[in-house]
C-alpha cells in the first residue's frame, strides 16, 4: 500500500509541474484534469532509453520539473499581487524586500517560520522531483506492455481534444502544452532582459538636462521649500472607489483654499503595480522608465540627473525621509544626491509600530518639520518623503493626534492594541478595501494638515502615489494610474504649470491628463527653469 501511495504522490507532483494553471483563481483539482503532451513524450523517452542515459534523463527532467514547479508557484504569487508573471532574471532580487515585508506584516517570529518552511519546500522539490521521476520511470518500465498502449491512447485523446478545442475553463485546454510554453517563455524573457540591459545602457547617458548650468536650474522656485511626498499605494482606485479618500480630498481642498493655498491635480502612469515602490521613485526622479529591478540596479550604478540632484545643484539642501528603512542606503547620496537620509533609526521615534509602518505618517511629517523646517536660519530644503502608513496590510491603523502633542511619539503608545487588528481586517475583501481607503485617507490628512503647522507659508508640496494597491483592492484590470497634486500658496508657482491642463483641487477627474511617470521630471524642470542645457 505504501508503494502505491508513493507512486501516487510522485505522479501528482510531476502532473502538477506539467499541467498546473498560471492563475490562482483557476487552481483546483478540475484544472489538473488535462493531458500534458510533455508527459507523454517523457514516458516514451523513459521507455526507449536504457541504463545510464535513462538515469541521466531522469535526473535532468526531475531538476527541470522542480524548477518549473517553483516558477509556477512564483507566477501564481506575482500574478495575484503584481498582475504579472515572475521574471527569473530580475525578480529574485526582491527576496530581501519580501522578507522585510513579511516580517512587518506578521511579525519577525512567524516570518522566520514561514521563510524556513519555504526554504525546506524548495529543497524538498529539488531533491524530491528527480526521485519522483525515477520512481515513475521504474513503474512504466515494469509495466511496459500496458504503458506504451496507454501512451498511444492518451496521445490520440490529446490530438482529438486539441482539434476540437475542448477546454475545462476559458484558456485552459484539455490538450495541455503549458509546461513547454512556460519553459519557452522563461528562455524568451531571459533573452529579452539581456537585450534590454544594452538598450537601457544607451538611454541613461542621453540626458540633455545633465549639461544645464547650475544657475539655470529651477529658477522659478528659488528660495522656496519643496516637498515631494510619495503616499504608499495611493492609486486611482483610492480616488474613484473609496468614500474615505474622496471625503479627505474634498475636505483638504476646502481647507487649503481657505488658508490661501491652490492646488492642481492629474494622473501619472506608474511603471509598477501592487509593490516595488522604488521603481516608481526612480522613474519619477530620473525621467526614465524603470519597470524592472534590472533597470533599477543598472540606473543606480550610473550617472543621471535626478530631480533631487537638480535641486542640490541649484543650491537647496536635499534630504530623504524613508521611515521604513532600517539600514544604510549609500545610493541615496551616491545617485540621488541627498545631503542626509532620515530613516527609522534617525527620526527619533519612541512609540509603537503599526503593521508594516514602524511609525505613523503624522509622526514622520512632524519629525521632518522639527528637524528640517523649524531650524533658523537655514537654506531652502527640498525633501522626498515616503509615507508608509498606507502600506499593505493596512492594519492596524493609527489615528491622528494634535500636532502639539506628538513630541517623540510616546503619545501613540495609548493607541497600541486598540486599532482594528490585521486578522479582523483581512477577514473579507470588503473589510480589506475599507481599511485600504481609511489608511490612504489617514496619510493624506496627515500630509495636508502639515501645511497648517509649518512656519514656512511659501512651501510647495507635490503629493503623489507610487502605484496602485494589490488586486484584492484594485480588482481585475485596475491599471497603473496614480494621482498627483501640486499645492502652493504663491500663484506664480501654479501659473507656471497652467499649460499642463491639470484639474483644480486635490482630486483629479476622469478627464484629467494622464502622463507616463517618466515624463514628469523633464516637464517639471522645464516649467520652473530654462530648457535643457540652459
Predicted confidence (pLDDT) at residue 517 exceeds the cutoff of 80: yes
Q: Check residue 25 and give its pLDDT.
A: 57
Q: Check residue 29 and give its pLDDT.
A: 64
Mean pLDDT over all residues of the chain? 88
Q: Is the distance from CB of 366 to CB of 333 less than 8 angstroms?
A: no
Largest CA distance in the chain: 92
Report cis status (omega within 30 of 0) of the bond before 393.
yes
For residue 385, give the 3-state DSSP assignment: strand
pLDDT band, very low/low/confident/very high, at 1 (cuts 50, 70, 90): very low
Q: Is the distance from CB of 522 to CB of 287 less than 8 angstroms?
A: yes
Q: Is the distance from CB of 238 to CB of 465 less than 8 angstroms?
A: yes
CA separation for the pair 469, 438 (Å, rounded): 13
Copy the grid coordinates of residue 436. 485600504
Q: Is the distance from CB of 509 to CB of 121 less than 8 angstroms?
A: no
The pLDDT tens digits of the residues spanning 30-40 come to 667 777 888 78
Predicted confidence (pLDDT) at residue 217 exceeds the cutoff of 80: yes
Owner of C-alpha cell 544604510: 328
291 Cβ neighbours under 8 A, 6+ residues apart = 271, 272, 279, 283
Q: Check residue 363 and give its pLDDT.
A: 97
Predicted confidence (pLDDT) at residue 527 exceeds the cutoff of 60: yes
Q: What are the DSSP E strand ranges found in 323-453?
A: 340-343, 381-387
CA separation for the pair 344, 360 (Å, rounded): 11
The pLDDT tens digits of the residues spanning 236-283 come to 999 999 999 999 999 999 999 999 999 999 999 999 998 889 999 999
| Residue percentage of the chain with pLDDT more than 90 | 51
Copy the grid coordinates of residue 20. 498546473
Could you give the angle at the alpha carbon of 333 between the alpha carbons of 330 and 334, nearest 5°? Answer: 75
Predicted confidence (pLDDT) at residue 505 exceeds the cutoff of 70: yes
Predicted confidence (pLDDT) at residue 96 exceeds the cutoff of 80: no
Across 160-179, average pLDDT: 78
pLDDT band, very low/low/confident/very high, at 462 (cuts 50, 70, 90): very high
Phi, psi of 362 (to 5 degrees): -60, -40
* C-alpha dist (Å) from residue 408 to 364, 413, 415: 10, 11, 15
CA separation for the pair 313, 216 (Å, rounded): 10
Q: Check residue 113 and give its pLDDT.
A: 80
Across 489-505, average pLDDT: 95
Predicted confidence (pLDDT) at residue 477 exceeds the cutoff of 80: no
Q: What pairs with residue 374 in β-bridges?
A: none
Of residues 504 and 9, the one with the higher pLDDT is: 504
pLDDT band, very low/low/confident/very high, at 58 (cuts 50, 70, 90): confident
Predicted confidence (pLDDT) at residue 311 exceeds the cutoff of 90: yes
Of 174-188, 321-335, 385-399, the least confident: 174-188
Amino acid at each position: 500500500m505504501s508503494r502505491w501511495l508513493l507512486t501516487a504522490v510522485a505522479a501528482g507532483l510531476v502532473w502538477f509541474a506539467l499541467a498546473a494553471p498560471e492563475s490562482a483563481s483557476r487552481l483546483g483539482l478540475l484544472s489538473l484534469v488535462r493531458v500534458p503532451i510533455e508527459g507523454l513524450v517523457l514516458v516514451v523517452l523513459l521507455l526507449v532509453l536504457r541504463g545510464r542515459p535513462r538515469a541521466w534523463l531522469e535526473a535532468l527532467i526531475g531538476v527541470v520539473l522542480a524548477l518549473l514547479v517553483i516558477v509556477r508557484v512564483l507566477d501564481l504569487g506575482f500574478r495575484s499581487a503584481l498582475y504579472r508573471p515572475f521574471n527569473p532574471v530580475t525578480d529574485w532580487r526582491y527576496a530581501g524586500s519580501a522578507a522585510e515585508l513579511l516580517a512587518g506584516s506578521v511579525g519577525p517570529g512567524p516570518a522566520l517560520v514561514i521563510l524556513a518552511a519555504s526554504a525546506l519546500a524548495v529543497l524538498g522539490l529539488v531533491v524530491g522531483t528527480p526521485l519522483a521521476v525515477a520512481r515513475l520511470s521504474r513503474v512504466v518500465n515494469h509495466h511496459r506492455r500496458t504503458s506504451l498502449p496507454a501512451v498511444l491512447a492518451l496521445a490520440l485523446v490529446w490530438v482529438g481534444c486539441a482539434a476540437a478545442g475542448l477546454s475545462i475553463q476559458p484558456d485552459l485546454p484539455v490538450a495541455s502544452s503549458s509546461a513547454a510554453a512556460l519553459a519557452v517563455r522563461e528562455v524568451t524573457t531571459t533573452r529579452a532582459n539581456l537585450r534590454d540591459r544594452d538598450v537601457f545602457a544607451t538611454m541613461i547617458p542621453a540626458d540633455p538636462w545633465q549639461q544645464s548650468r547650475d544657475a539655470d536650474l529651477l529658477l522659478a522656485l528659488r528660495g522656496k521649500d519643496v516637498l515631494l511626498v510619495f503616499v504608499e499605494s495611493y492609486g486611482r482606485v483610492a480616488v474613484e472607489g473609496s468614500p474615505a479618500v474622496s471625503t479627505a480630498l474634498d475636505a483638504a481642498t476646502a481647507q487649503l483654499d481657505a488658508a490661501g493655498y491652490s492646488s492642481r491635480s492629474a494622473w501619472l502612469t506608474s511603471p509598477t503595480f501592487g509593490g516595488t515602490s522604488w521603481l516608481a521613485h526612480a522613474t519619477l526622479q530620473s525621467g526614465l522608465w524603470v519597470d524592472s529591478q534590472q533597470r533599477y540596479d543598472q540606473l543606480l550604478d550610473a550617472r543621471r540627473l535626478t530631480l533631487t540632484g537638480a535641486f542640490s545643484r541649484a543650491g537647496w539642501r536635499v534630504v530623504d525621509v524613508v521611515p521604513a528603512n532600517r539600514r544604510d542606503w549609500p545610493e541615496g547620496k551616491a545617485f540621488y544626491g541627498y545631503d542626509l537620509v532620515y530613516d527609522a533609526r534617525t527620526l527619533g521615534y519612541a512609540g509603537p509600530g503599526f503593521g508594516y509602518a514602524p511609525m505613523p505618517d503624522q509622526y514622520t511629517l512632524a519629525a521632518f518639520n522639527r528637524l528640517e523646517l523649524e531650524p533658523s536660519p537655514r537654506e531652502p530644503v527640498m525633501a522626498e518623503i515616503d509615507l508608509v502608513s498606507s502600506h499593505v496590510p493596512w492594519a492596524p491603523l493609527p489615528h491622528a493626534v494634535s500636532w502639539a502633542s506628538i513630541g517623540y511619539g510616546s503619545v501613540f503608545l495609548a493607541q497600541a492594541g486598540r486599532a482594528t487588528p490585521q486578522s479582523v481586517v483581512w477577514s473579507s475583501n470588503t473589510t480589506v478595501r475599507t481599511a485600504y481607503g481609511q489608511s490612504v485617507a489617514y496619510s493624506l490628512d496627515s500630509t495636508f494638515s502639515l501645511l497648517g503647522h509649518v512656519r514656512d507659508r511659501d512651501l510647495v508640496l507635490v503629493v503623489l502615489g507610487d502605484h496602485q494597491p494589490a488586486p484584492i483592492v484594485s480588482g481585475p484590470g485596475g491599471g497603473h494610474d496614480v494621482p498627483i497634486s501640486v499645492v502652493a500658496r504663491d500663484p506664480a508657482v501654479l501659473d507656471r504649470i497652467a499649460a499642463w491642463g491639470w484639474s483644480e483641487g486635490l482630486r483629479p477627474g476622469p478627464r484629467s491628463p494622464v502622463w507616463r511617470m517618466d515624463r514628469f521630471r523633464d516637464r517639471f524642470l522645464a516649467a520652473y527653469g530654462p530648457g535643457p542645457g540652459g
